[in-house]
Amino acid sequence: MHDVVRRTALPGRSQSSHDKMARSLGYFSIALGIAELVAPGEICRAAGVRGLEPVVRGYGAREIATGVAILTSHDPEPWIWTRVVGDLADIATVAIGVQQDNQSKGRSALALAALATVTLVDLACADGLNSEKGSRKTATRDYSRRSGFPRGLQATRGAARDFKVPDDMGTPELLRPWDDTRGIRQN
Amino acid sequence: MKALVWHGTTDIRCDSVPDPGIEHERDAIIKVTSCAICGSDLHLYDHFMPGMKSGDVMGHETMGEVVEVGPAARKSLKVGDRVVIPFTIICGECEQCRRGNFSVCETTNRNKDLADKAFGHSTAGLFGYTHLTGGYPGGQAEYLRVPFADTTHIKVPDGIPDEKLLFLSDIFPTGWQAAVQCDIQPTDTVAIWGCGPVGQMTIRSAVLLGARQVIAIDRLPERLSMAKAGGAITINFEEESVIERLNELTGGKGPEKCIDAVGLEAHATGSVDSMYDRAKQAMMLETDRPHVLREMMYVCRPAGVLSIPGVYGGLLDKIPLGAVMNKGLTIRTGQTHVNRWTDDLLNRVLENQIDPSFVITHTEPLESGPEMYKTFRDKQDGCIKVVLKPGMNGGFHA
């Protein structure tokens, strides 16, 4: 038997710590995206790579789009996973573009460490958001005694069969079920 | 007073707001004793419905005690009366109200121009449900101003717990209307998508109305167990094919009556069309996720009826209208004409035919409302229905 998913909303709030974390990542995404669009050269230098300014600009656009999606969506989880995929692309780009001089190597190592940290934060956030949702694997409270019928199900079945359906909601005569045995339409 | 206030997507807070007062001679003020979070409130929480503004008070399932009455409402209400407030605000005088079509009252939507633009023609004013339906403050609060109070109320007797009566405001008549408008015959199989609170009420209504077979479709075991307790055969759509199982249970002919108690936020995680809907929704090319509608239209028996109490808000894509047309299906939908049904339903509660409190899983103070939105939306803690009580100390789940 699985445990029921516990409540995760912060006291007095309609959001959890992971929701808050997602919002922070949304703002971070937009800020980083703007920096990549405005100053791709500086970003490349800081990461110890060269000649990748157009790629960095493209990544900037991706970061901004993802950030906006996170901040405007009711469910940021898929967009946080999008960030994880983006993180992996960033890591691959830096790893492939590492220069051979020592200064660049050092910068690339720092950049990779930073990207790895951000990836871990994104992963923690996405996993946290996912684990907050009840599903067939987690929701196991038993409500099998709640019929809602004080006299019992069998005694109540069809108890309102004599209810007269208003004319504007009734089935047209021609569409009523046909009783083969009696050759008439059923009521 | 304290009230649950919408501040933005997934951001509901319990704020202090000004107490309501009489603004019109037909108004009354209600001291709220119980209110509930509705599944359709989640569409506002998730911000799928347009027309919300920061500062709007939430809630449209409310009951309480009358504490102030405007002069024109005194003919039918007095201080001290115990009332359930229907979620639809009705004038009782317009052509639609006279026909019993209360949810499309022609008078009470004070933002008629906005609704005309969105829907072609205005519908009734609703409590706490966007500015498209009047922008009226809702009832998840300590007090509620009830406009057109002489007609917008259901008087209920003392001596019966709030929990048995509160759902006359919305989900019980909504489930009832969903079943009634199917015109259920003793030979019918009724398939109901969604075992949330409205789905549960629909199942009980279909059983009461004498359907031969009621089939309930969901993915959460706890909701399916409650559906089974109410007399339904259950299908877990994550474990078996809904289409195949429905055909199997109906001799290959499909159910005569299909009811969508899900609405615009269908969670059909594995299906191709739901992935398509999510992608389009993310790109703002589609507002609603109509997986259930597609499935109903496909599986329904020719000449059958599709009943849609589930809330839809805007534009839907890839609707198989060819199946609807060629099979000659009838579609009946709409917000609930609450007061059309409540006299009858109140009698059924008083006669112990049904006890709607079965659906309540959590009872909490009003101040816990924001947390309970998240809990309800994410199906945490076995949550199916939340009742909030102003002034209550501590909460419990049943």
- pLDDT on residue A184: 61
Q: What is the pLDDT of residue B205?
A: 98
For residue B306, the cross-strand partners are B258, B331
> Which residues in chain B are contacts of A131 at CB distance < 8 A?
none
Q: pLDDT value at position A1?
A: 44
Contact A148 B375 (CB under 8 A): no
List C-alpha distances in Å: A123 to A6, B119, B278.
21, 42, 22
Work out whether strand B56-57 and strand B61-69 pair parallel, antiparallel, or are unpaired: unpaired
**Higher pLDDT, residue B267 or A16:** A16
Higher pLDDT, A7 or B17: B17
Q: Return d(Cα B313, Cα B385) in angstroms, integer.
A: 22
Chain A residues 5-24 within an 8 A CB cutoff of chain B: 5-16, 19
Q: Which of B207, B221, B371 sits opposite A139 (nearest CB)?
A: B221
Q: Residue B362 has what pLDDT?
A: 96
Of A73, A136, A144, the CB nearest to B236: A136
Distance from CA of A70 to the nearest CA of B (A): 10
Contact B349, B157 (CB under 8 A): no
What three-state secondary structure class fits B10? Answer: coil
Q: What is the average pLDDT across B238-243?
A: 93
Q: Min CA distance, B45 vs chain A (Å)?
A: 8
- Angstrom distances, CA of residue A61 to CA of A41, A67, A70, A155, B47: 15, 10, 14, 64, 25
Residue A35: helix, strand or coil by DSSP? helix
The H-assigned helical ranges of chain B are 39-45, 95-98, 112-119, 162-165, 171-180, 197-208, 221-229, 242-249, 272-282, 291-299, 321-327, 338-350, 369-377
Residue B226 has pLDDT above 60, yes or no: yes
Residue B101: C-alpha distances to residues A29, B96, B142, B146, B339 (Å): 49, 5, 30, 19, 9
* Interchain CB distance below 8 Å, A9 and B204: no
Summarised one tens digit per residue, pLDDT across range B210-222 is 999 999 999 999 9
Q: Please enumerate, as own/partner, the contacts of B276-279 that have beta carbons within 8 Å and a separation of 24 or more.
A: B276/B317, B276/B318, B277/B317, B278/A78
pLDDT at B396 over 70: no
Angle between the A17-38 and A77-97 helix axes, to the nearest 10 degrees? 40
The pLDDT of residue A185 is: 59
pLDDT digits (tens, 9 = 90+) for B291-305: 999 999 999 999 999
Residues B162-189, mean pLDDT to the nearest whole number:
97
Give the C-alpha separation, B175 to B197, whole Å: 9
pLDDT at B181: 96
A-B interface: how many C-beta pairs under 8 angstroms?
A: 197
Q: Residue B249: pLDDT above 90?
A: yes
Q: What tokens were used for B315?
A: 């534009």
The secondary structure of residue B265, as a DSSP letter, is B
Residues of chain A found within 8 Å of residue B181, distances taken between Cβ atoms: 165, 169
**Residue numbers of B between 310 and 349 with CB closer than 8 Å to A:** 328, 330, 332, 340, 344, 348
- Residue of chain A with shortest Cα separation from B302: A175
Nearest by CB to residue A16, choosing from B223, B358, B374, is B374
Q: How far apart are CA B62 and CA B136, in angstroms?
A: 14
pLDDT value for A172: 72
For residue B340, list chain A residues with Cβ-Cβ distance below 8 A.
Answer: 166
Query: How confident is the model at residue B275, as a pLDDT?
Result: 82
pLDDT of residue B276: 84
> Predicted ipTM?
0.91
Instruction: With beta carbons less than 8 A apart as the criterion, state whether B204 and B177 touch.
Output: no
- Indicate the range of A58-62, B175-179, B314-318, B392-396 predicted with least confidence: B392-396
Put simply, whether A182 touches B (Cβ < 8 Å) is: no
- Look up residue B24 and give its two tokens: 């019109």
The whole-number average pLDDT for the span B11-26 is 97
Dihedrals phi, psi of B146, to nearest 5 degrees: -105, 105
- Indicate the pLDDT class of residue A76, thresholds 50, 70 and 90: very high
pLDDT tier at B317, thresholds 50, 70, 90 = confident
Q: What is the pLDDT of residue B269?
A: 64
Nearest to A136 among B10, B183, B220 (CB): B220
Q: Predicted confidence band at A182 (pLDDT cuts at 50, 70, 90)?
A: low
Residues of A in Cβ contact (< 8 Å) with B235: none
Among B residues 58-117, those touching chain A with beta carbons less than 8 Å apart: 99-100
Of B365 and A175, more confident = B365
Query: Smallest CA–CA separation between B356 and chain A, in Å?
Result: 6
Q: Quote the mean pLDDT of chain B.
A: 94
Residue B182 has pLDDT above 80, yes or no: yes
Which positions 114-173 of B are in contact with A (Cβ < 8 Å)? none
Closest CA to B337 of B44, B105, B43, B130: B105
- For residue A23, give the nearest of A36, A35, A12, A10 by alpha carbon: A10
Question: Tens digits of per-residue pLDDT, B96-152?
Answer: 999 999 999 999 999 999 999 989 999 999 999 999 999 999 999 999 999 999 999
Nearest to A8 among B10, B48, B380 (CB): B380
Yes or no, beta carbons of B380 and A7 under 8 Å apart: yes
Nearest to B266 by CA among B290, B244, B294: B290
CA dist list (Å): B40 to B213, B310, B316: 27, 8, 18
Going by C-alpha positions, the residue among B264, B194, B197, B260 that lies closest to residue B48 is B264
Closest CA relative to residue B237, chosen from B284, B163, B150, B295: B295
Enumerate residues 104 to 133 of chain A having a beta carbon within 8 A of any beta carbon in chain B: 132-133
Q: Tell me the average pLDDT across A72-77.
A: 88
For the stretch B329-373, pLDDT in tens is 999 999 999 999 999 999 999 999 999 999 999 999 999 999 999
Rg of chain B (C-alpha set): 20
- Can you read off the two tokens belonging to residue B324? 């609807």
At B49, the pLDDT band (50, 70, 90 cuts) reads confident
What kind and span of H or E run contains B191? strand B189-193
